[in-house]
Structure 1
Amino acid sequence: MTVRDDSDAGAAAVGDGRWLLLWDIDGTLLLRASGSHATAVWDALCDVHGIEPATLRNGSGRGGAGKTDGQIAREILEALGVPAAAIDEQADAVRARTCERYRPEDLTAHVSPGIDGLLAELHARGDVVQSLVTGNFEPVARRKLDAAGLGRWFDPRWGGGFGSDHEQRERLPAIARARAGAALRPDGAPWPAERTVVIGDTPRDIACARHDGVAVIAVATGPHAADDLRAADAVAGDAAELRAAVAALLDGGAPIGRDGRQTIPDDPQETTA
């Protein structure tokens, strides 16, 4: 595990002193659990836009790690020559159809080793609220976590940020903070950026955290090696190292996320966010 040693690290307690942890799903909580999700997106595009399945599956949808479902769908359609106006007009229909189509199998075997125990430990702390920042459409995200046995750690009342909220992932942490604050803070103000941490497995997770000015921990359990994730405040190789990184951030003071975006390369493996 590597942890950045920054001179401006550390944050004073804000509000009630609790931390908001915003978890990514694919490649972070779950590994290689995207097959039926990708199929649901493809089927929705076929249903809504009348695309032949064989055409769609012939290399479409690659390079999607960290992207939102809506962005992935848009890029597939653009590659097939669908006009932008038609993509915009049918975006809601594609989202609705994807959510109808996605009925995952048992995904418990796809839980990243050690993650369930870590989520349980964090849930037991009095100073942590766990929520989500994921490119999945929200119904897809909830069903996916329920099928994996992890849904119990993410109370829907605390909100989250999802691909159904915006196509651009960098907008999602602020949405998640606004929802958590509205649900849990007496004044209803957005959860303070100084007490928020994004946890994910791709450069896009890092970029969305930086865009919102929040801290970020990366875990190299997805398609990216630790060296690809070095712009994060901490990089872990597995759940044990992630546990230590989270404890260091929560108990030792958080390196606060910096403004500005990271350069984001195309990703070769995962097809959903």
Structure 2
Amino acid sequence: MVSPLRRKKSSELLTQVIIRDIFDSKAKPLLLELSGSNTKEYVILKQGDDVRNDWFIQTICNLFNTLWQKEINGSLQPYIYTYKSTPLSFNMGCIQCVSNVEPARSFAWEKINELPKEKKDKLLVSIAGSSIASYVLGIRDRHQDNMLIKDGHIYFHIDFGHLWNQGPVVDAPRIAFPRRFRKVISQEEWDQLVLICTEAYMILRNHSKEIIHIATSLFRTIDENTCTIEAFLSGPDSLMLGVDDTLAREKFERSFRK
């Protein structure tokens, strides 16, 4: 048996699987330690959850990263931190256990101004990337336990159970930044973040056909009727294909400044 998160070209076999923890949540996911002859990794085995959503969203986010890398020069390029996930069935799968993370709720936001410039910039562009993806893909339920910070300066989202703007009855705002983050950065940094997000959003809008094609192709394996997904992505709450660039830019920027 090989690791469910390992690339196919790797032929290293697992020699040991140990249950290291059982998480205290309804589905009781397991933290597994997977050991091979030369490597060791940790994965979360989720039972009762459809991990395909995680896999598909990570795939689309990697596409966003590729588009931004091709079209944006400079260090302040939006970036989405992605993690590995492997569906094993429609209600079971493995997700990479990302090390050294903490939720936005408990993160010491007041200390980010002490970060070296390179790390602070990484924090800003990772917040930008995740926020744009949440807007375009209609990812809801963005409370501060679904926002994580890795290594003290890389921000990313988890838990993609609510997509295409279909949120729970009680939900966070459509574009949800960690509350204390906005309070500790300067107005100049905030304006810069909004500009970065807006320019990156316009790039995704220019690649709308590619994004819609990939999203509908992926999610068709879950539900053959992807009309809702296509309608959302092309509609007024996502890529806004029914209006010109000027109106789309203005509406997106207003949404971020609310």
Return the TM-score normalized by structure 1. 0.30
Larger Rg: 2
Give the number of the structure whose residues are more often helix, by fraction: 1
Give the number of the structure whose residues are more often strand, by fraction: 2
The structure, 1 or 2, with the larger RCO (C-alpha pairs under 8 Å, 6+ apart) is 1
